Structure 1
Amino acid sequence: MKLLLGIGGSDDSWHALTQTAERAAEAGDSLTVAILENPDSEMAPEAIEGKVEETLDEYDLEAEVRHVEGDPGAMLVEIGDGEGYDQIVLGGGQRSPMGKIRVGQVAEFVVLNAETSVTLVR
């Protein structure tokens, strides 16, 4: 399976990276990690890439890592749909105090607009 993982440095994106790397290593999936612009993240893109590489090394997994500029949701949809990915994977947000799921703006855009299957990891 050809997977595209979007990561912007948030806690839920790190969880998605770990889950996806573990699955890709077990299943032999092809993984591309797209580092997205995230104004809410305090981490620089280079620091995000370093942490991604460390995680990939933990699972002895080779993956393409690319930096994506522009609107993160639109770019993930464009890459996922345009480059033949089987699945787009994103951190899926958090639960509110009332137990409802809060999905971030990027995840919502991707879910609503991608023709490629989308998996939200919580």
Structure 2
Amino acid sequence: MRLLLGIGGSDDSWHALTQTAERAAEAGDSLTVAILDNPDTEMSPDEIESKVERTLSEYDLEPDIRHLEGDPGAMLVEEGDGGEYDQIVIGGGERSPMGKIRVGQVAEFVVLNAETSVTLVR
């Protein structure tokens, strides 16, 4: 399976990275990591890329890493729907105190607009 993982540097994106790396290593999936613009993180794109590389080396994965500039949701959908991928993976979502799922703005955009299957890791 060809996976596209969107990473913006948030805590949920790191959780999604770990979950996706475990699955890709176990299943032999092809993994591409898209580093997204995220104004809510203090990490630079280069710092995010370094952390991605360190994490994936623990799973003996050497993914294709791409930097997507612009609106993160739109860019991830555009990249994912380009025909190369079987699935888009993105972190996001948490439970509210009432037990409802709250999905981040980027994750919501991707889930609602992608033609490619989307897995939301929470």
Q: TM-score of the superposition, structure 1-length normalised?
A: 0.97
Distance in 2 (alpha carbons) for counterparts of 1:29 and 1:43:
27
Distance in 2 (alpha carbons) for counterparts of 1:60 and 1:44:
24
Query: Partner letter of residue 37 of structure 1?
Result: D
Where does residue 69 of structure 1 map in the other structure? 69
Q: 1:80-116: CA deviations, max 9, x gaps?
A: 1113210000002211111111101110001100000
Distance in 2 (alpha carbons) for counterparts of 1:121 and 1:91:
5
- 1:1-122 to 2 correspondence within 5 Å? 1-122=1-122
Length, aligned pairs only: 122
Q: TM-score of the superposition, structure 2-length normalised?
A: 0.97
Distance in 2 (alpha carbons) for counterparts of 1:92 and 1:104:
6
Q: Which runs of 4+ in 1 moved over 6 A?
A: none
Structure 2: 5+ residue stretches without partners: none
Distance in 2 (alpha carbons) for counterparts of 1:6 and 1:12:
11
Percent of pairs with identical residues:
85
Query: Partner letter of residue 119 of structure 1?
Result: T
Structure 1: 5+ residue stretches without partners: none
Distance in 1 (alpha carbons) for counterparts of 2:97 and 2:8:
24
Query: Partner letter of residue 97 of structure 2?
Result: P
The CA RMSD measured in Å over matched residues stands at 0.7
